[in-house]
A and B are shown apart, each in its own frame.
Chain A
């Protein structure tokens, strides 16, 4: 029996592969991304990035309709986008097993909100499994396909950052089930959700869930672990591990299937312990379900936000926690920043000069909101920049409004915003930052780059032709690394009475591995004006005299600072290794 150190995401991929999945499809999003990338490494599975989560869930519905097993992956906010098909797929049920893996991000390590996908399981009337660690992620994903087909329902598998991005020892004892495509059966009463059919399937959905509830009560996914009788803890997902560590004496009702919720098991558990508390992240949710089952829950002061750790559990129960050492005072923050050579930097430098209101979007370029560039005014959700730019311009008459959106985000849900702008006579400006990749999540291909998950180079979305087809009259592509060219084009676009789309194109610095010889500051020429500092490049700092200096171990020689220096003080420095650099 082989043992492997797997992350939760790797384990979900393994579980899907073992279950004989035919297709994997999703949209990248931290902390879910590596799931599909890992599944793609197995033979016999076709894996694809979709332009967005709704399309992914629909492609998967087609696979299921035609009888194949399919895994769909996304982060929590992606489930909002995929919710439309999901709610109706609960009615239709499945052909081949349909498992949707969703990764939540309590504490918002890399997200704009910390919404709770458990509520979707109840709202959509879809079962949900919650692994507590990588070993469970493998087992539960494999099982989810069987449940999906046995109970004729799509199944949600929910992880959180500490499951997806934690690694644990996993026993690899299962081989792959031979993929069996169920034969296609024409069945309009099941698949054509016109009202007459939907009403019947709505009733049948309750029948299917009732059958599954019996499974939830008895199958071991939800289980009682009796230790002491003084304290009983109900815990789901990652919170279970924190409870086991913090309260080794307590009895635990481990919730592995949160929907349908095991009401009888909860009552049985409550009867065997003196008092019941609920430990969960982003609660109260399970707490309310336990109460609804008729069990008296002792209230404990768990935060409703962030992650649950052993110390938060102990503190909530009034137990002592370790006090750590004390950090020296006045430590500077270390926010994330644009990489040296990042092509987004120059675009935000130019945007700042236009004094426009800049509606932003989701991606590395959201860092354009951070000082010293500080040239982005909003970031809400995927695609919002375009609609918000249009909406803001309806009431803002003083300043220009520019929407800024990345290539992958534009393909995800920015295009419909542009269609709205064009349709309603908008004359604003949209800047598409085309860095040839989905950078923030680790360089996935996308429809604009044409690079697919299998590594092939397919059709590239023609942004200029698309913008014109939508109705934009002013369409131009500039080299994002040409700062003055970008600024000139941006000024023209903003001044133009036409609907303008400016495509600022240049590959991500990590992708192009731009490593020209670094540059240096000629101290005799530098006037300490600070123009280069305002780029926010991690290689550039001020000396005590206020003049600029460049760290040759960080500089990649991209040339952006040379372009903004009016005095010609930035000059070639020679190869980094001769200067004691290249430590990175």
Chain B
């Protein structure tokens, strides 16, 4: 099973994790891999914790990811990065959008965000990306999810041409250019090491 690449996308309902997972799965399929994707809909989507699994390789069996088995964790915000950390292998790659979306218990004062969260993630080898800023630079504030895909792509064995084709086919026509730029900015930031 070592030929299987396992990616976890973690975020908050409404952040675009499902679209991002779908794009990743389609890129892997276009490259000729067997792919399984798994996600959870319904109640969890209303601003709750959401998680999508994408696994690709020569032959993939389970669509579910167990603790310590993910090669990549792409976190759309820092609390969810910390929450899903147990899924990531020791040697796994951790890409984190450098922002916090406060959950309701924190908003109403019933819970707190632990001190030193960002430092703890840095300790775990997090590669930080300011996805919202890069998305705005690309021309569409809604393309933060695609920025994160770009950042993740720097560590994935999938060709840039295929990424571009799938993204172009999957986002609203008017936003294709901005999304392709968003992908490039995310990828470039990681390749340069500027996103660390």
A residues in contact (CB < 8 Å) with B: 3, 5, 30-31, 33, 109-110, 133, 161-162, 165-169, 241-242, 244-246, 248, 307, 309-311, 321-339, 364, 366-367, 370-372, 440-442, 533-534, 536, 538, 540-542, 582-584
Bound complex: CA of A241 vs CA of B61, how far in Å? 5
- B26 contacts partner chain A, Cβ-Cβ < 8 Å: yes
Question: What residues of chain B lie closer than 8 Å to A246, measured between beta carbons?
Answer: 62
Question: B66 to A536, Cβ gap below 8 A?
Answer: no
**Shortest beta-carbon contacts, A-B, top 5:** A110-B42, A322-B68, A324-B86, A324-B67, A30-B42
Question: What residues of chain A lie closer than 8 Å to B49, measured between beta carbons?
Answer: 334
Question: What residues of chain A lie closer than 8 Å to B124, measured between beta carbons?
Answer: 325
Contact of A326 among B48, B69, B86 (CB under 8 A): B86
Question: A541 to B102, Cβ gap below 8 A?
Answer: yes
Dominant secondary structure of chain B at its interface with chain A: mixed
Question: A309 to B62, Cβ gap below 8 A?
Answer: yes
Question: What residues of chain B lie closer than 8 Å to A584, measured between beta carbons?
Answer: 14, 141-142
Question: What residues of chain B lie closer than 8 Å to A533, measured between beta carbons?
Answer: 107-109
- B25 contacts partner chain A, Cβ-Cβ < 8 Å: yes
Question: B14 to A336, Cβ gap below 8 A?
Answer: no
Question: What residues of chain A lie closer than 8 Å to B139, measured between beta carbons?
Answer: none
Bound complex: CA of A110 vs CA of B36, how far in Å? 21
Question: A5 to B68, Cβ gap below 8 A?
Answer: no
Question: A324 to B44, Cβ gap below 8 A?
Answer: no
CB distance from B122 to the nearest CB of A (A): 12
CB distance from A381 to the nearest CB of B (A): 15
B30-59 interface code vs A (CB 8 A; 1 in, 0 out): 000011111111111111110000000000
**Stretch touching chain A among B113-121, B153-161, B178-186:** B113-121
Question: What residues of chain B lie closer than 8 Å to A367, measured between beta carbons?
Answer: 46
Given A333-B103, A336-B44, A336-B47, also A311-B67 (CB < 8 A) = yes
Residue of B whose beta carbon sits closest to that of A580: B136
Question: A166 to B38, Cβ gap below 8 A?
Answer: yes
Question: What residues of chain B lie closer than 8 Å to A30, measured between beta carbons?
Answer: 41-43
- B88 contacts partner chain A, Cβ-Cβ < 8 Å: yes
Given A364-B46, A533-B109, also A165-B40 (CB < 8 A) = yes
Question: What residues of chain A lie closer than 8 Å to B88, measured between beta carbons?
Answer: 324-325
- B191 contacts partner chain A, Cβ-Cβ < 8 Å: no
- B174 contacts partner chain A, Cβ-Cβ < 8 Å: no
Question: B64 to A335, Cβ gap below 8 A?
Answer: no
Bound complex: CA of A335 vs CA of B111, how far in Å? 12
Contact of A166 among B36, B86, B90, B103 (CB under 8 A): B36
Question: B63 to A325, Cβ gap below 8 A?
Answer: no
Bound complex: CA of A242 vs CA of B105, how far in Å? 35
Most chain B CB within 10 A, of A3, A169, A370, is at: A169
Question: A338 to B46, Cβ gap below 8 A?
Answer: yes
Bound complex: CA of A542 vs CA of B112, how far in Å? 12
- B12 contacts partner chain A, Cβ-Cβ < 8 Å: yes
Contact of B110 among A169, A325, A371, A442 (CB under 8 A): A371
Given A5-B35, A309-B64, also A330-B114 (CB < 8 A) = yes
Question: What residues of chain A lie closer than 8 Å to B71, measured between beta carbons?
Answer: none
Size category of the binding interface on chain B:
35 or more
Q: A371-B108, A440-B42, A536-B107 are in contact. List 4 more A-B contacts (CB 8 A).
A: A167-B38, A246-B62, A309-B66, A328-B82
Question: A325 to B62, Cβ gap below 8 A?
Answer: no
CB distance from B142 to the nearest CB of A (A): 8
Question: What residues of chain B lie closer than 8 Å to A310, measured between beta carbons?
Answer: 61-62, 64, 66
Question: A334 to B80, Cβ gap below 8 A?
Answer: yes
Given A325-B90, A332-B79, A541-B107, also A339-B46 (CB < 8 A) = yes
Question: B42 to A542, Cβ gap below 8 A?
Answer: no
CB distance from A154 to the nearest CB of B (A): 27
CB distance from B28 to the nearest CB of A (A): 9
Question: B111 to A324, Cβ gap below 8 A?
Answer: no
- B106 contacts partner chain A, Cβ-Cβ < 8 Å: yes
Given A30-B41, A169-B29, A339-B46, also A325-B106 (CB < 8 A) = no
Most chain A CB within 10 A, of B22, B44, B80, B112, is at: B44
Bound complex: CA of A31 vs CA of B45, how far in Å? 13
Bound complex: CA of A336 vs CA of B105, how far in Å? 11
Question: A582 to B141, Cβ gap below 8 A?
Answer: yes
Given A244-B61, A325-B90, also A333-B105 (CB < 8 A) = yes
Contact of B41 among A165, A168, A331, A541 (CB under 8 A): A165
Bound complex: CA of A242 vs CA of B117, how far in Å? 34
Bound complex: CA of A244 vs CA of B35, how far in Å? 16
Question: B109 to A168, Cβ gap below 8 A?
Answer: no
Question: What residues of chain B lie closer than 8 Å to A538, measured between beta carbons?
Answer: 47, 102, 104, 107
- B196 contacts partner chain A, Cβ-Cβ < 8 Å: no
- B96 contacts partner chain A, Cβ-Cβ < 8 Å: no
Question: What residues of chain B lie closer than 8 Å to A162, measured between beta carbons?
Answer: 38, 63-64
* A-B contact list, 29 entries, CB within 8 Å: A3-B29, A31-B42, A109-B40, A109-B44, A110-B44, A166-B38, A167-B36, A242-B61, A242-B62, A248-B1, A322-B89, A325-B85, A325-B86, A325-B124, A326-B85, A328-B117, A329-B114, A330-B114, A331-B114, A333-B111, A334-B47, A334-B49, A337-B46, A371-B110, A538-B107, A540-B107, A542-B107, A582-B141, A584-B14
